[in-house]
């Protein structure tokens, strides 16, 4: 790894597809970084608006900007095209409808060098149309591989460590040979999981540096969720468990399996509340696929008594389970307040 007094080159990959409305805000936020030794790779993924010419203008304005024009292949394909030409010692990702704080990469790189970390993870602002949500106390926390994985798998009261690649800075050698699965959504899940399984030391910055836009009209995240969930997200979470089993331990994989079951239960409640009977029945089938393996995990001592009861009730009667959750959320929780 780089010594702290040697400035490393950071490659920042920005996929661009019909983003003329947001592109200036995004690219200017990268150009204005206090950390100057950047290679900014704009990947025009077959845009049909003025984004391609805007990208070329940025390249004329700043020699650190490289532009790739390619046929439309989706977000994963665009990121892979950027990775193929990236020359940096570290890799970062920014989505072109988002933007970043001026000192994001200086702070993340500095945290990596000071703590000999191969990955830096930061908090992020959630940008809604009517409000911005943030948090963090500014602390910088070194994490071992297992500490990082536990926070990633289980969630953490303090650390916000999700699968998004844009909230991270990756040491290049750590992610060597890793690419994003072309033509699929939820592509960050396995990239981040594999990187976390490979890491020796990570560092978490409890400060928001990245502005993540959640409700832009037409955003991937606002697309119809059902098919994407069954085609991409759920299979990726299964692959995530398998990867952890192979690269880390059965114990950590069991923890991932338990939280996957919890995730499916939450999805089922969402489908039931939306009166989407087809999705609800498919989720019941997904739960049944892993029943024997999950029976083992749920009797292993890592699962709370309440979660065991919830899962037992679900298998007894999924609709009764959903009705009880509905009553609990609307009657019991308000009474507690």
The enclosing domain of 189 has a CATH number of 3.90.550.10
The answer to the question of residue 299 being in a domain is yes
Write down the pLDDT at residue 224: 55
**CB-based contacts of 304: which residues, under 8 Å, 6+ apart?**
none
The answer to the question of residue 207 being in a domain is yes
Last residue of a domain, one of 159, 188, 219: 219
Q: Do 191 and 165 touch, CB atoms closer than 8 A? A: yes
Instruction: List C-alpha distances in Å: 233 to 239, 245, 309.
Output: 10, 19, 26
Counting every residue, how long is the chain?
A: 337
| pTM reported for the whole predicted model | 0.91
In tens, the pLDDT along 132-151 reads 999 999 999 999 999 999 99
Q: Worst-scoring range by mean pLDDT, 186-200, 209-223, 230-244?
A: 209-223
State the average pLDDT over residues 261-280: 89
Query: What range defines the domain where residue 25 resides?
Result: 10-219
The answer to the question of residue 272 being in a domain is yes
Write down the pLDDT at residue 4: 47
What integer best gives the mean pLDDT of the chain?
91
In tens, the pLDDT along 78-110 reads 999 999 999 999 999 999 999 999 999 999 999
Per DSSP, which regions of 172-243 are E strands? 201-213
Q: Place 271 in a pLDDT band, splitting at 50, 70 and 90.
A: confident
Say if residue 190 is in the same domain as residue 63.
yes
Say if residue 297 is in the same domain as residue 312.
yes
d(CA 105, CA 35): 6
Say if residue 138 is in the same domain as residue 252.
no
d(CA 50, CA 301): 57
State the average pLDDT over residues 200-225: 75
Say if residue 172 is in the same domain as residue 315.
no
Greatest alpha-carbon span in the chain = 65
Q: What is the phi-psi region of residue 18: left when phi exceeds 0, alpha when psi lies from -120 to 50, beta otherwise?
A: left
Q: How many domains does the chain have?
A: 2
d(CA 134, CA 123): 8
Write down the pLDDT at residue 5: 46
State the average pLDDT over residues 167-187: 92
Percent of the chain at pLDDT > 90 equals 75
Instruction: List C-alpha distances in Å: 202 to 122, 170, 187, 221, 332.
Output: 11, 10, 21, 28, 40
């Amino acid at each position: 790894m780089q010594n702290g007094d040697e400035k490393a080159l950071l490659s920042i990959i920005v996929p661009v597809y019909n983003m003329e409305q947001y592109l200036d805000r995004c690219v200017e936020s990268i150009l204005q970084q206090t950390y100057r030794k950047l290679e900014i790779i704009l990947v025009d993924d077959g845009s049909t608006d003025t984004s391609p010419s805007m990208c070329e203008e940025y390249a004329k304005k700043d020699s650190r900007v490289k532009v790739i024009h390619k046929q439309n292949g989706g977000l994963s394909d665009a990121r892979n095209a950027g990775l193929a030409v990236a020359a940096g010692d570290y890799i970062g990702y920014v989505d072109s409808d988002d933007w970043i704080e001026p000192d994001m990469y200086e702070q993340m790189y500095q945290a990596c060098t000071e703590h000999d970390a191969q990955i830096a993870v930061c908090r992020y602002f959630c940008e809604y149309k009517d409000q911005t949500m943030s948090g963090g106390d500014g602390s910088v926390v070194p994490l071992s591989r297992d500490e990082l994985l536990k926070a990633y798998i289980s969630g953490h009261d303090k650390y916000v460590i999700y699968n998004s690649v844009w909230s991270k800075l990756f040491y290049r050698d750590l992610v060597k040979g890793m690419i994003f699965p072309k033509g699929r959504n939820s592509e960050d899940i396995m990239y981040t999981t594999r990187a976390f399984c490979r890491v020796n030391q990570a560092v978490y910055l409890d400060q928001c540096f990245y502005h993540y836009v959640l409700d832009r009209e037409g955003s991937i995240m606002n697309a119809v969720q059902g098919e994407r969930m069954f085609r991409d997200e759920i299979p990726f979470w299964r692959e995530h468990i398998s990867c952890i089993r192979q690269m880390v331990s059965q114990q950590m994989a069991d923890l991932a399996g338990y939280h996957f079951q919890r995730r499916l239960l939450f999805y089922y409640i969402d489908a039931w509340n939306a009166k989407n009977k087809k999705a609800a029945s498919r989720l019941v089938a997904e739960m049944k696929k892993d029943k024997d393996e999950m029976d083992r995990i749920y009797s292993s001592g890592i699962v709370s008594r309440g979660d065991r009861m919830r899962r037992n009730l679900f298998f007894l009667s999924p609709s009764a389970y959903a009705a009880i959750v509905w009553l609990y959320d609307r009657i019991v929780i308000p009474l507690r307040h």
